[in-house]
């Protein structure tokens, strides 16, 4: 199935002249996602938040069905949360670590996840180790196999890092985790919405994602998947009267489903917006989305490599829609600012957001130009022309 780019363009709320290559930062919401939120905010203003929620109960519930379809799980394995970080942290801090336990992670791991490992290393004496990468840049699965022993408590992998198009082989890693019965946590923050995710194929126990990036959902939305068989052993790091019931003066009972990782108060407009975004992606089809995003990113990489002073910094055998580069002699922030003045949106990925990978490769600040299926070949040409001028005069 190919994408109907005209229909997709008609759903854009943004000015068609804007070149938005910051989909790894925050993408552009399509009209149905905006409308779902506006309608609910209107209802809240008219009826008050509690009545509005009651009126839209079945639509709110169907957000869980949509997410379950997106990642191929059951609805009771889904928690809808504020962002990817909250989802990831809920699963991570629920694990019963003991001193000496080992955590194995990727070199291109995201800063917030790594900071959580370091905190636990301090507090509970766990050991954090990075799995070496192959010469091409992704997690070396053979090296991972050689690192396994009975002390490995967690394998935690960022599917697509924040600093480039690398796609880690999460399914091959999942096979190793499953074989050894090791808890497997996947950060799918940058892959959800651009890569077809299937938690059974990946064989992960938990997976977190955000709304505002490739899913084109609202800010302040995200979700966590937790495998049903893992749920009973995971005690949320915080509980409230939604995640648990107060059953007696000295007792409480956790919810049986993944909503034990949620809490009571919610931004229902954002939740409905997230559901609309997931439905929008599902209607287009994730394989078709992935094919178009990958194609556009490959064209962009190719065109960038022809510009003097520009170095494409992506690694990996398989690469997705995030394209990072540097320009000799000009800082990435200056490049991104100049592009913004030409109505082109990019962002900057600094070394501290993926410190291990950036240190290993000696990376400077990188310009991150991340394309989505609603972008066009023509926009790439205009982008390359604008960048060529900046690089020539800078
Ligand atoms: C790989 C990765 N993981 C996690 C996050 C955190 O996502 P959120 O800001 O939604 O918590 C990001 C954000 O850029 C990211 O790139």
Every domain of the chain and the residues it spans: 5-29+285-393, 32-283
- Which residue owns the Cα nearest ligand 1 atom 14? 162
Q: Measured from the CB, is residue 187 less than 6 Å from ligand 1?
A: yes
- Which residue owns the Cα nearest ligand 1 atom 8? 84
Classify each residue of 24-34 as buried b or exposed e, where b means 16 or more C-beta atoms within 10 Å of its C-beta: bbbbbbbebbb
CATH of domain 5-29+285-393: 3.90.1150.10
DSSP character for 128?
E
Q: Measured from the CB, is residue 83 less than 6 Å from ligand 1?
A: yes
What pLDDT score does 197 carry?
A: 98
Q: At residue 394, does pLDDT exceed 80?
A: no
Exposed/middle/buried for residue 81 (C-beta within 10 Å: 0-12, 13-18, 19+): buried
What pLDDT score does 231 carry?
A: 96
What pLDDT score does 332 carry?
A: 98
Across the range 107-121, mean pLDDT stands at 98
What pLDDT score does 29 carry?
A: 98
pTM over 0.95: yes
Across the range 128-140, mean pLDDT stands at 97
Q: At residue 204, does pLDDT exceed 80?
A: yes
Q: At residue 341, does pLDDT exceed 90?
A: yes
What pLDDT score does 1 carry?
A: 72
Residues written for the chain: 394
- When the pLDDT of each residue in the chain is averaged and rounded to a whole number, the result is 97
State the CB neighbour count (10 A cutoff) for residue 132: 15
Q: How far is the CA of 393 from the centre of ligand 1 (A)?
A: 34
Q: Which CATH class is domain 32-283?
A: alpha beta
Q: How much of the chain, in percent, has pLDDT values that exceed 90?
A: 99
What pLDDT score does 31 carry?
A: 98
Smallest Cα–Cα separation from 271: which of 207, 191, 197, 217? 217
């Amino acid at each position: 199935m190919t994408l109907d780019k005209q229909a997709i363009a008609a759903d854009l709320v943004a000015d068609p002249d804007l070149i938005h290559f910051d989909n790894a930062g925050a993408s552009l919401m399509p009209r149905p996602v905006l409308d779902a939120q506006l309608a609910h905010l209107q209802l809240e203003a008219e009826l008050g938040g509690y009545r509005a929620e009651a009126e839209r109960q079945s639509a709110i519930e169907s957000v869980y069905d949509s997410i379950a379809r997106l990642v191929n799980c059951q609805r009771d394995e889904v928690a809808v949360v504020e962002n990817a970080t909250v989802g990831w942290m809920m699963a991570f801090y629920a694990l019963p670590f003991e001193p000496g336990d080992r955590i194995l992670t990727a070199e291109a791991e995201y800063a917030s996840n790594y900071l959580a490992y370091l905190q636990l290393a301090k507090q509970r004496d766990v050991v954090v180790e990075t799995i070496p990468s192959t010469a091409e840049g992704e997690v070396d699965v053979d090296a991972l196999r050689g690192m396994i022993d009975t002390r490995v408590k967690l394998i935690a992998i960022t599917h697509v890092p924040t600093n480039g198009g690398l796609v880690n082989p999460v399914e091959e890693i999942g096979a190793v985790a499953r074989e050894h019965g090791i808890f497997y946590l996947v950060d799918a923050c940058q892959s959800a919405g651009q890569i077809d995710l299937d938690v059974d194929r990946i064989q992960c126990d938990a997976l977190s994602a955000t709304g505002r990036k490739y899913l084109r959902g609202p800010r302040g939305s995200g979700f966590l998947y937790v495998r049903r068989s893992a749920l009973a052993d995971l005690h949320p790091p915080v509980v409230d009267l939604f995640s648990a019931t107060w059953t007696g003066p000295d007792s409480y009972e956790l919810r049986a489903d993944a909503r034990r990782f949620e809490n009571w108060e919610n931004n229902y407009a954002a939740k409905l917006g997230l559901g609309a975004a997931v439905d929008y992606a599902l209607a287009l089809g994730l394989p078709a989305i992935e094919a178009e995003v990958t194609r556009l990113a490959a064209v962009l990489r190719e065109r960038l490599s022809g510009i003097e002073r520009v170095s494409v910094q992506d690694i990996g055998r398989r690469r997705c829609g995030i394209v990072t580069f540097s320009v000799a002699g000009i800082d990435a922030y200056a490049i991104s600012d100049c592009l913004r003045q030409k109505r082109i949106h990019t962002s900057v990925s600094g070394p501290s957001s993926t410190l291990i990978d950036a240190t290993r490769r000696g990376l400077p600040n990188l310009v991150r130009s991340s394309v989505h299926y609603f972008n066009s070949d023509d926009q790439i040409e205009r982008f390359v022309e604008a960048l060529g001028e900046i690089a020539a005069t800078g």
